[in-house]
Amino acid sequence: MQRVTISLDEELTHAFDTLIADQGYGSRSEAMRDLVRQAIAARREIRSDGECVANLSYVYNHHVRALAQRLTEISHEHHDQVVATFHVHLDHEHCLESVMLKGRTSEVRALADAIRAERGVTFGELNLISVAANDQHHHGDAHRHEAHGHLTPRLR
């Protein structure tokens, strides 16, 4: 077994210790191993080679130097994946953004990871839904889609 050291501020340490106690863990190490296993399993659930639609929600501190500008630039660089962005001011320092995404699962994940890795971004959560391209219609011949196709959720 390898030893890994992490640093947490006091508030986060207290919250983690409360979580550990609430869930009945015997140690921080046991809890951390479970969190790592859960994160790895969650990444495996959605096929990385398929298409998806997704929602990335994250909180960020808009006082962090040039962070808002960097986030906007990332969105513009990935305009083919970013469908829409919803922005809310939470308080004098923090904003919540919810970004609707679509595309190859591996590319959507990479974009979400890049955003969450920015200094000043916290509480990032990605929700992925596998989809398949679908142009099947049940509306008769009068229903046409010249400019776009449909994305149908995959049933597991």
In CATH, what is the architecture of 7-45?
Answer: Orthogonal Bundle (1.10)
pTM for the model:
0.65
97: enclosing H helix or E strand: strand 94-104
- Whether the pLDDT of residue 111 is over 90: the answer is yes
What's the count of helices (H) and strands (E) in the chain, helices before strands? 4, 5
The CATH code for residues 47-136+145-156 is 3.30.70.1150
With contact defined as beta carbons under 8 Å apart, do 105 and 97 qualify?
A: no
Identify the pLDDT of residue 85: 95
pLDDT in tens, 67-110: 999 999 999 999 999 999 999 999 999 999 999 999 999 999 99
**pLDDT digits over 34-52, tens only?**
888 877 766 666 666 788 8
In the chain, which residues fall in CATH 1.10.1220?
Answer: 7-45
What is the DSSP track for 68-87? HHHHHHHHHHTTTTEEEEEE
